[in-house]
Amino acid sequence: MEKAWYKEGVVYQIYPRSFFDSNNDGIGDLKGIVAKIPYLKELGVDIVWLSPVYKSPMEDNGYDISDYQDISKDFGTMDDMKDLIFKMHEAGIKLVMDLVINHTSKEHPWFIKSENKDGKYVDYYHWEPKKRNWSSFFGGEAWTFSEKRGEYYLHLFAKGQPDLNWDNENVRQDIKEMIKFWLDLGVDGFRCDVINIIAKNNNHPNGKFKLILKGSEHYFDNPNLHVYLKELYEDVFSKYDCFTVGETVFINPKTAADLVNPERKELNMVFQFDHMAADNHVVKWFIKKFKPFNLKKPLSKWQKELNGWNTLYLENHDQGRSISRFGNMDYYYQSATLLATIIYFQQGTPFIYQGQEIGMTNAHYTELSQYQDIETHNIYKLGRKFLFSHNSMMKRIKLMSRDNARTPMQWNDQIHAGFSRSRPWLEVNGNYKIVNVKNNQEQTKTILDYYKKIIKLRHDNEIIVYGDYEDIDYKNKRIYAYKRTYNKQELYVLCNFSPNVIRIKKYDFLNQKLILQNYSEITSEIMKPYEARVYLKK
Ligand code: NOJ
């Protein structure tokens, strides 16, 4: 196994809009992130991934970019960005940006010129004189008519997010120049948005009948994907000390292995989504009761089957909070720390999403109007069109809306949770008086403290980073246990993923050194609800 800094580091994802508001306009900003660098240091993370801060009309909160080489006024200026890169580096933290290159905003000059059939921009996007039946990831149709051009354009996400035509060499050239611009400014890598769907069948035939994502057979697993990623790697990434992590939707370990195989020179790692379906039928709005085994099964599959480097995550800006989905509020501290133990002792690079480290929960909104997210509103409309009741749609939204992850970071028990002195762009979660950073810092035995311990353990023990993975008692529905092996060392994770007290086997590792636990009192062969332990045998 080749060693690398991005394998050994712990990544912290910041959703800038909701992290910290330095100028009190209700929106988090770059100066706000600078102000919280001491907090990131205290937590011990090595790398920060910033969700998009580029210029954007904000139809999809910045995932619709109108200028790749400028910063949105909501977040600050280019000088603020340079300052952030500098200060992060000064603090020993690397900075990774979001790279949204499947699509732009329809306000991007390339699209405006393409709509006008202007010179080299004519084919910068996907155009068709006749509408195709493809459907979008946000629900609804994926081809929309442009009055100006008199043709339909493809948008796999919102109407304001037209898909770029990657078969066009000029598009690829412009994108490469843009990536170089950021790397030259000192950025250390990129999280590449929906990167596995950039290559499409350019004849755009109608899609086969499907309930969701009609047309997806024309862009999933397109062989050109590998060609284009190689080109990016060879012409740009290989020239810098940086890493890439691709967001890859509907991916299996085999395709993922091709994407991250170091010899193929495409990406360094990918985010897969199998374990995010532990409480739904793959489409997140079709919810089902969560069962711990449905989390264990896919996680274990990726540990065993991916011939390559994994990413380890339970949350991001698109997912409901893990404690609300997979934990148990009656055992709040224990289940939050159990989840962290399960995921962050596996092999791969850990990603922590802002607020996860203090046990932030889903939003508890009651009205649809409290949600801001475009996907949430689209899905509500679509669901109602298909005759789902208001209550049924609200139940799904309460669990799955992306806004659950986007509520402002809860810094303290003061007004607006210390995020801003003005009314935030999205309502603060009502539990901020209890769940906040300050309480976590001042009290003993907190979730934050536990996260700090995990991060330190990863830094101090190579076995947690590089060790081989093996399940223990895989079929047990309540016990989640596994072993890591590295050189002559062994590490054991043992968790009771249930609200019951259970008697466990006399595992022979029970007499090894306990290096982490989420209960102060331990009875060797009895496990309390959501108890988590980590043993190290040297
Ligand atoms: C995935 C991003 O994570 C999500 O937030 C965004 O809406 C879509 N891609 C479109 O860019």
CA pair distance 302, 346, nearest whole angstrom: 10
Ligand 1 nearest-atom number relative to CA 138: 7
How many angstroms is it from 281 CA to the middle of ligand 1?
A: 20
Q: What is the pLDDT of residues 280-337, one digit of tens each?
A: 998 999 999 999 999 999 999 999 999 999 999 999 999 999 999 999 999 999 999 9
Residue closest to 13 by CA, chosen among 62, 43, 49, 61? 49
- Does 346 score more than 90 pLDDT? yes
Q: What is the pLDDT of residues 436-453, one digit of tens each?
A: 999 999 999 999 999 999
CB distance 315 to 321 below 8 Å: yes
Vertex 472, ends 467 and 475: CA angle to 5°?
135
Mean pLDDT calculated for residue range 107-111: 98
**Which token pair is 69?**
């080489």
- Does 1 score more than 90 pLDDT? no
- Does 179 score more than 90 pLDDT? yes
pTM over 0.75: yes
| DSSP per residue, 295-356 | HHHHHHHHHHH-SS--EE-S--TTS--HHHHHS-GGGHHHHHHHHHHHHHTSSSEEEEETTG
How many angstroms is it from 337 CA to the middle of ligand 1?
A: 28
| Best of 18, 98, 106, 193 for a ligand 1 pocket test (most atoms within 8 Å of beta carbon) | 193
- List CB contacts of 336: < 8 A, sequence separation 6 or more: 322, 323, 327, 359, 447, 450
- Does 159 score more than 90 pLDDT? yes
How many angstroms is it from 63 CA to the middle of ligand 1?
A: 6
Q: What is the pLDDT of residues 263-285, one digit of tens each?
A: 999 999 999 999 999 999 989 99
Ligand 1 nearest-atom number relative to CA 375: 7
CA pair distance 389, 66, nearest whole angstrom: 37
163 close to ligand 1 (CB < 6 Angstrom): no
CB distance 320 to 405 below 8 Å: yes
Which residue's entry shows tokens 């009502």?
A: 430
Q: Which residues are catalytic?
A: 193, 247
211 pLDDT band (50/70/90 cuts)?
confident
Ligand 1 nearest-atom number relative to CA 374: 7
Q: What is the pLDDT of residues 42-84, one digit of tens each?
A: 999 999 999 999 999 999 999 999 999 999 999 999 999 999 9
CA pair distance 304, 161, nearest whole angstrom: 37
**Which token pair is 152?**
């339909």
Report the pLDDT value the prediction gives residue 336, as an integer from 0 to 100: 98
98 close to ligand 1 (CB < 6 Angstrom): no
